[in-house]
Structure 1
Amino acid sequence: MKVKKFFLEIYDEFFYCMTWPKWIDLQMSTLIVSFFSMFLSIFLYGVDVFFIFFIKKLFSVK
């Protein structure tokens, strides 16, 4: 009986107690996450290129 009560409480919590975000909020959050993901990837690529250039210049034999 405890198992049945447990699953009924889960069902009630999921459908009646939780508040889901509005569609426009989801769209804005997705845009923000996408923008910052692209920005961070470009920034880290630039840092990587800089360090590769710096290390090649530092250890190059003339």
Structure 2
Amino acid sequence: MKKNNFFLEIYEEFFHCMTWSKWEDLQLTTMIVSFFSIFLSIFLYGVDSIIIFLIKKLFSL
């Protein structure tokens, strides 16, 4: 297979065969991912704080 043919096939696939999401769909999924990332980070911070508190109480006896 020739190198030029390979790049031509990549170009054809990229610009003529792929379907791209609509701008509104991209905005919605970005908002969902952002919300769950923030929620998960706050949740894990809370769980970590509780575990640290319990470990400190356990070893301070």
Q: TM-score, with normalisation over the residues of structure 1?
A: 0.94
| Aligned length in residues | 61
User: After TM superposition, what 4+ stretches of structure 1 lie above 3 angstroms from structure 2?
Assistant: none
Provide the identity percentage: 74
Give distance in 2, aligned partners of 1:57 and 1:33.
36
Unaligned runs of 5+ in 2: none
Unaligned runs of 5+ in 1: none
RMSD over aligned Cα atoms: 1.0
1:52 aligns with 2:44: no
Give distance in 2, aligned partners of 1:32 and 1:4.
41
3-state secondary structure, aligned to 1:19: coil
Equivalent in the alignment of 2:24? 24
Deviation at 1:30, TM superposition (A): 0.2
Give distance in 2, aligned partners of 1:4 and 1:53.
63
